[in-house]
């Protein structure tokens, strides 16, 4: 029995390959990426299964999967691939496509965290843990979720109430403005 892929299926696989700058057709499903993934046990599709979904044109399944949002981009999968496929980049590409198409319903809280993280980086030029977790907890309707841990971190001097200034903050913020402008032009 011969399996053939329709044009749409091939187009999706090609789009991902173009986004990451390499052909993912070389993956032969050895599973080494999954074996090395520290959070594979939490995923609905393991890393090698996500690659297979892409190869077979499973756009809907891939873009609505929880897996792409759970991936920590630690790149263990990429380093273990005997075919040198950048599995972490595939996950990134899928997140970019899903986000661009408004398909963030799979893991709303993870998407919210990503957005808040970038806003904090843009505002302060570095991570401000108190601001990030405070906003995140408020927006997820858990305002006191981390108060015990926060109290301990403050007592040990590990959590700062203020963020030290960053040299070149204005230039750094300009990078964010240019990226947003480029995204607007592309749409």
Is the pLDDT at 5 greater than 70? The verdict is: no
Is the pLDDT score of 170 beyond 60?
Answer: yes
Q: Which CATH number fits domain 7-103: 3.30.930.10, 1.10.1060.10, 2.40.10.220, 1.10.3720.10?
A: 1.10.1060.10
Q: What percent of the chain has pLDDT over 90?
A: 53
- For the chain, what are the domain ranges? 7-103, 106-182
pLDDT band at 3 (very low <50, low <70, confident <90, very high): very low
Task: Compute the C-alpha angle 81/84/89, nearest 5°.
Answer: 90
Whether the per-residue pLDDT at 2 is higher than 60: the answer is no
Q: CA nearest 70: which of 22, 26, 107, 112?
A: 107
* Structure token pair of residue 82: 């005997």
Give the DSSP per-residue string, 124-171: HSS--HHHHHHHHHHHTT-TTTTHHHHHHHHHTT-S-SS----TTHHH
Question: What's the whole-number mean pLDDT along residues 159-176?
Answer: 88
Residue 4 confidence (pLDDT) above 60: no
Instruction: Label residue 138 by pLDDT band (50, 70, 90).
Output: very high
């Amino acid at each position: 029995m011969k399996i053939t892929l329709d044009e749409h299926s091939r187009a999706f696989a090609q789009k991902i390959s173009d986004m990451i700058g390499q052909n993912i057709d070389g993956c032969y499903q050895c599973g080494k990426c999954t074996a090395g993934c520290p959070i594979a046990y939490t995923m609905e599709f393991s890393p090698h299964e996500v690659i297979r979904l892409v190869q077979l044109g499973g756009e809907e399944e891939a873009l609505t999967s929880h897996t792409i949002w759970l991936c920590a981009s630690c790149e263990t999968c990429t380093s273990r691939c005997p075919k040198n496929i950048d599995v972490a980049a595939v996950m990134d590409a899928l997140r970019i496509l899903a986000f661009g198409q408004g398909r963030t319903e799979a893991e709303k809280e993870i998407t919210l965290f990503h957005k808040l993280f970038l806003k904090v980086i843009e505002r302060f030029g570095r991570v401000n843990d108190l601001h990030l977790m405070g906003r995140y907890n408020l927006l997820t309707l858990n305002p006191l979720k981390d108060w015990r841990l926060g109290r301990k971190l403050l007592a040990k001097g590990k959590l700062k109430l203020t963020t030290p200034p960053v040299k070149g903050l204005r230039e750094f913020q300009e990078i964010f403005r240019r990226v947003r402008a480029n995204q607007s032009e592309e749409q």
